[in-house]
Chains A and B, each alone.
Chain A
Amino acid sequence: MSDIHGGKDPLVRIAKRSTISKPKAWAIRLISLLLALVVCAILIYSIVKMNPLQVYVSMWKGAFGSSRRAWITARDVMMLLCIAVGLAPAFKMKFWNIGAEGQILVGGIVTAACMIYLPQLPGPVLFLVMLAASLLAGAVWGVIPALFKARWNTNETLFTLMMNYVAIQLTSFCVAKWENPPGSNSIGVINQTTHAGWFPSLFGQAYALNVIIVMIITVAMFFYLRDSKQGYEIAVVGESQNTARYAGISVGKVFIRTMIISGAICGLAGFIAVSGASHTISTSTAGGRGFTAIIVAWLAKFNTFTMILISLLLVFLDKGAIEIATAYNLNDYASEMITGIILFFILGSEFFINYRLIFRGHHKEVE
Chain B
Amino acid sequence: MTSAQWASLIQAAVVFGTVIMYGAIGEIITEKSGNLNLGVPGIMYLGGIAGLAVAFLYENSVADPSRLVSFILSFGAAFLAAALGGLIFSILTISLRVNQNVTGLTLTIFGGGVANFFGGSLNKLAGGVGQISVARTSSVYRATLPGVSSMSPMMKAVLGYGFMVYLAIILAILATWFLNRTHTGLNLRAVGESPATADAAGINVTKYKYLATCIGAGISGLGGLYYVMDYIKGTWANDGAIETLGWLAVALVIFALWKPVNATWGSYLFGVLFWLYYYIQGLNRASQEIFKMLPYIVTIAVLVIVSIRRKRDMGPASLGLSYFREER
**Could you tell me the dominant secondary structure of chain B's interface residues?**
helix
Cβ of A338 within 8 Å of any chain B Cβ, yes or no, is yes
Contact of A333 among B108, B116, B247, B293 (CB under 8 A): B116
Q: What 0/1 pattern do residues 299 to 318 of B give for CB contact below 8 A with A?
A: 11001100110100000000
**Given A155-B254, A159-B300, A344-B88, CB of A333 within 8 Å of CB of B120:** yes
Residue in chain B with minimal CB distance to A144 = B300
Number of A-B contacts (CB under 8 A): 154
Residue in chain A with minimal CB distance to B115 = A333
A165 CA to B300 CA, complexed, in Å: 11
Minimal beta-carbon separation of B114 from chain A (angstroms):
5
**Given A159-B300, A166-B296, A173-B289, CB of A291 within 8 Å of CB of B109:** yes
A331: B residues at CB distance < 8 A: 116-117, 120-121, 238
**Given A330-B117, A351-B97, CB of A294 within 8 Å of CB of B102:** yes
Contact of A295 among B102, B125, B284, B289 (CB under 8 A): B102
A155: B residues at CB distance < 8 A: 254, 303, 307
Cβ of A305 within 8 Å of any chain B Cβ, yes or no, is no
Minimal beta-carbon separation of A169 from chain B (angstroms):
4
B120: A residues at CB distance < 8 A: 330-331, 333
| CB proximity to B under 8 Å, residues A83-114 | 96, 98
**Could you tell me the dominant secondary structure of chain A's interface residues?**
helix
Contacting pair B109 A292 (CB below 8 A) = yes
Cβ of B275 within 8 Å of any chain A Cβ, yes or no, is no
A339 CA to B42 CA, complexed, in Å: 14
Contacting pair A148 B307 (CB below 8 A) = yes
Contacting pair A177 B109 (CB below 8 A) = no
B135: A residues at CB distance < 8 A: none
A49 CA to B218 CA, complexed, in Å: 31
Cβ of B280 within 8 Å of any chain A Cβ, yes or no, is no
Contacting pair A166 B113 (CB below 8 A) = no
A319 CA to B303 CA, complexed, in Å: 39
Residue in chain B with minimal CB distance to A145 = B300
A340: B residues at CB distance < 8 A: 106-107, 109-111, 113-114
Contacting pair B110 A344 (CB below 8 A) = yes
**Given A153-B307, A162-B299, A331-B121, CB of A348 within 8 Å of CB of B292:** no
| CB proximity to B under 8 Å, residues A166-195 | 166, 169-170, 172-173, 176-177
A341 CA to B114 CA, complexed, in Å: 10
| CB proximity to A under 8 Å, residues B59-99 | 88, 91-92, 95-99
| CB proximity to B under 8 Å, residues A306-359 | 329-331, 333-341, 343-344, 347-348, 350-351, 354-355
Contacting pair B109 A336 (CB below 8 A) = yes
**Given A294-B102, A295-B106, CB of A166 within 8 Å of CB of B289:** no
Cβ of A154 within 8 Å of any chain B Cβ, yes or no, is yes
Q: Could you write out 7 A-B pairs with CB less than 8 Å apart?
A: A153-B307, A165-B244, A166-B297, A173-B289, A343-B110, A344-B110, A348-B96
* Extra 20 A-B pairs, beta carbons < 8 Å, given A153-B307, A295-B105: A16-B326, A148-B304, A152-B307, A158-B299, A163-B296, A165-B244, A169-B289, A169-B290, A173-B286, A173-B289, A292-B109, A294-B101, A294-B105, A329-B124, A330-B125, A331-B121, A348-B98, A351-B95, A351-B97, A351-B98
B residues neighboring A (CB under 8 Å): 38, 88, 91-92, 95-99, 101-103, 105-117, 120-121, 124-125, 238, 244, 247, 250-251, 254, 284-287, 289-290, 292-293, 296-297, 299-300, 303-304, 307-308, 310, 326-327
7 residue pairs, one from A and one from B, having the closest CB atoms: A340-B110, A336-B113, A337-B113, A333-B116, A351-B96, A176-B286, A331-B120
